[in-house]
């Protein structure tokens, strides 16, 4: 059995130790993991070596490195943000932000150091006072984000957050896959499935996002060609885009569909700005195979099994069994 030590072998005798001491010291286990689990369950792991928070140096926030790890614990320890992401708290990046904001405690102590390692199953991790439990049921929410909402989970300016629109209705802690600007509307996927979120956002997967942009003025054929070939921005040239001119209201405005796989900050607005056209309305209507459809602004629904499966394929992942937590689509 995985959680029992094997019979003490000759090594125990040679060392002149009792079977119990031999087991407690780690002898006879198939792996460090097995040993650690055994010791944990029997309270044989000390809580020694906890560091006190360093006194504030006057430079930067007070840092708590967390408890010092024994050699066996170090073998199984993982970075705090990785454990948080796996538990469905937020993406790794968002988890880092939560740590740095002082919202995470390990064994009751605030940890702000991103290098902190924790031992899953031993250390008690809390975010805003809520303990991380088992990984939550995976849920997938499609929201039509209205203008005037931020996609971050925490806004220093206190502006409305997209997660406010789900409050009281979605029990799981979901977070947005990618971001939309405060003034951008449209398709936003929220989930607690970190693997899917990472796969969809990974640049190598080149998952395409489709935007409808209404711009001031009418870009001529040379500018449309430039959008198709790539625009020089201050963070480098953009990859070629699929572009369709949907409507021209000369000389005031044009409505253009743009399909891109990159996800740089304010990319669509900056692409048009580089051509001398201000974006006056921007809406995302598709993320890979997922379509916004006629979902009204501010409304959300759960994805269907088929939509989740299609997204998994787009993210280059295999869906291990039936997606759980799906509920009937809400109108």
Ranges assigned E (strand) in the chain: 78-79, 104-106, 109-110, 117-118, 125-127, 130-131, 140-145, 175-176, 185-191, 209-216, 232-233, 236-237, 242-249, 253-260, 279-287, 290-291, 300-302
Q: Assign residue 206 a region (left: φ > 0; alpha: ψ between -120 and 50; beta: otherwise).
A: left
Helical H segments across the chain, by residue range: 10-14, 19-25, 32-41, 71-76, 80-86, 92-100, 194-201, 221-229, 267-274, 305-314
Of 56 and 239, which has the nearer Cβ to ligand URA?
239
Of 135 and 203, which has the nearer Cβ to ligand URA?
203
19 burial (CB, 10 Å; 0-12 / 13-18 / 19+) is: middle
Of 202 and 330, which has the nearer Cβ to ligand URA?
202
Shortest CB 267 distance to ligand URA, Å:
4
Shortest CB 239 distance to ligand URA, Å:
14
Shortest CB 184 distance to ligand URA, Å:
3
Shortest CB 268 distance to ligand URA, Å:
3
Tokens encoding 202: 């990974």
Of 37 and 209, which has the nearer Cβ to ligand URA?
209
The one catalytic residue among 64, 123, 181, 193: 181
Shortest CB 182 distance to ligand URA, Å:
8
Provide the terminal-to-terminal Cα distance of the chain, rounded to the nearest Å.
50
For the question of residue 164 being annotated catalytic, the response is: no
List residues near ligand URA by CB under 6 A: 180-181, 184, 266-269, 282
Of 89 and 187, which has the nearer Cβ to ligand URA?
187
Nearest alpha carbon to residue 95 among 122, 128, 62, 60: 128
Catalytic residues: 181
């Amino acid at each position: 059995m995985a959680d029992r030590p094997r019979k003490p072998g000759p090594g125990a005798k040679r060392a002149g130790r009792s079977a119990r001491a031999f087991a407690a010291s780690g002898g006879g286990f198939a792996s460090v993991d097995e040993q650690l689990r055994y010791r944990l369950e029997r309270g044989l792991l000390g809580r020694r070596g906890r560091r006190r928070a360093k006194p504030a140096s006057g430079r930067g926030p007070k840092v708590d490195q967390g408890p010092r790890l024994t050699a066996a614990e170090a073998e199984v320890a993982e970075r705090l943000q990785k454990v948080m992401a796996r538990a469905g708290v937020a993406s790794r990046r968002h988890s880092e932000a939560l740590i740095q904001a002082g919202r995470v405690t390990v064994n009751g102590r605030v940890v702000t150091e991103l290098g902190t390692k924790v031992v899953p199953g031993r250390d008690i991790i809390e975010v805003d006072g809520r303990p991380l439990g088992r990984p939550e049921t995976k849920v997938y929410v499609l929201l039509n984000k209205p203008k005037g909402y931020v996609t971050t989970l925490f806004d220093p300016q206190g502006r409305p957050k997209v997660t406010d629109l789900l409050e009281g209705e979605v029990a799981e802690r979901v977070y947005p896959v990618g971001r939309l600007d405060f003034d951008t509307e449209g398709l936003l996927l929220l989930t607690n499935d970190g693997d899917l979120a990472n796969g969809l956002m990974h640049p190598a997967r080149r998952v395409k996002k489709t935007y409808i942009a209404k711009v001031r003025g009418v870009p001529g054929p040379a500018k449309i060609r430039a959008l198709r070939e790539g625009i020089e921005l201050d963070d480098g040239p953009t990859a070629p885009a699929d572009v369709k001119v949907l409507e021209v209201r000369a000389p005031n405005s044009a409505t253009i569909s743009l399909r891109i796989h990159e996800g740089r900050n304010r990319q669509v607005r900056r692409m048009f700005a580089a051509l001398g056209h201000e974006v006056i309305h921007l809406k995302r209507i598709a993320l890979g195979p997922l379509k916004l459809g006629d979902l009204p602004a501010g409304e959300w629904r759960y994805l269907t099994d088929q939509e989740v499966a299609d997204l998994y394929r787009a993210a280059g992942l295999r869906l291990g069994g039936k997606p759980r937590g799906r509920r009937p689509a809400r109108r």
